[in-house]
Amino acid sequence: MSELRWNPVLREWVATATHRMDRPQLPKDWCPFCPGSGKVPEEYDVHIYSNDFPTFKTPPYTPIIEGTELFQVQPSVGVCDVVLYTPEHNTTLARLPVDHIVKLIRLWKARFEELATREEIHYVFEFENKGEVIGVTMPHPHGQIYAFPFIPPKIQTELDSAKAHQERTGRCLFCDIMNEERKDGRRIVGENDDFLLVLPFYARFPYEVHIFSKRHLQDFSQFEEREIRSLASILKFILLKYDNLYGFSFPYMMVIHQGPTDGANYDYFHFHIEFYPPYRSETKLKYLAGCESGAGTFINDSSPEEKAELLRMTEPLSL
Ligand SMILES: [Zn+2]
Ligand SMILES: [Zn+2]
Ligand SMILES: [Zn+2]
């Protein structure tokens, strides 16, 4: 069914989830996330739906295989939620009013705080995959929350870098990145009172945009009401720009990077959101090919300065 298998070569966990292969092909005219399906409340604004085919769950599945010293096995304990953004089937996050996006962020915050208190959960990962090219099977607007029993490797790398930078300079790595981006200016896409929107110097994807909180915060639990509203409006701002780039609803992965919830101190970390859109032009997709998948080095065949300028010039209008 599902277990964690240790890869001793890359020193990372791989989650198997063989039960996900049995996911039913849903009928085209029925959506479990729409009111009236019997699976969600008759009325809701935003809603946490517990995943029908979770990779992580509490109590966990029994691993189907026994580990050895080299090939370690752990149960996939944790939580997998689906976050329903709206009862409306045919819309997107970009098209929701700011007041509604505020409700979504309050839900992200509340669920983060709830999961953070749980002993078995070391990392709360909130994200969205959008668009068929990303592999999304359910068109109803939604995101997901994976609550991990360990700190995922990409986050661990960010933590290690931030810690090393702090020890070396006494400053926050992400605050320094923001200052450096401001000094240069060419890659700034936008900002408001509380957040900065940057297509960073080191972007892997042509339209990779990061949102940094201006205050040095680690996670949603420290957000003030004003910041929730500011984040909602800057989210809408960048998503509308994305949609207006080529005149179609722009697919992306949106990932929220917060500090871990394993009880240790991560005050050197800094809250941010990253977007990885798969398009590199109006018709061409970027694939993770040999160099990216086999060597771990991304080839970004465009200049972040040019793409940032293009995004700056694109109007944030509703399609
Ligand atoms: Zn629906
Ligand atoms: Zn900082
Ligand atoms: Zn990050």
pLDDT tens per residue across span 10-53: 999 999 988 766 666 666 788 999 999 999 999 999 999 988 88
Q: How far is the CA of 44 from the centre of ligand 1 (A)?
A: 12
Q: Which ligand is nearest to the CA of 82?
A: 1
CA of 317 to the centre of ligand 3 (A): 28
CATH topology of domain 2-313: HIT family, subunit A (3.30.428)
Note the pLDDT of residue 287.
86
**What is the number of the ligand closest to the CA of 84?**
1
Give distance in angstroms: CA of 111 to centre of ligand 1.
22
Torsion of CA 289, 203, 106, 118, to 10 degrees: 60
**Span from the CA of 107 to the centroid of ligand 1 (angstroms):** 19
CB 208 within 8 A of CB 62: no
CA dihedral defined by 104, 55, 162, 253, rounded to 10 degrees?
A: -50
Closest CA to 250 of 259, 240, 260, 261: 240
Expressed in angstroms and rounded, the spacing between residue 211 Cα and the centre of ligand 1 is 29
The closest ligand to the CA of 26 turns out to be: 1
Task: Provide the pLDDT for residue 51.
Answer: 86
Domain ranges of the chain: 2-313
Average pLDDT for runs of 10 along the chain of length 319:
94 89 71 95 96 91 95 97 97 98 98 98 98 89 98 98 98 98 98 98 98 98 98 98 96 98 98 97 90 95 97 92
Choice among 100, 142, 270, 272 that is catalytic: 142
Angle of helix 225-246 relative to helix 304-313, nearest 10 degrees, comes to 100
Q: Catalytic: 257?
A: no
Partners of 2 in beta bridges: 17
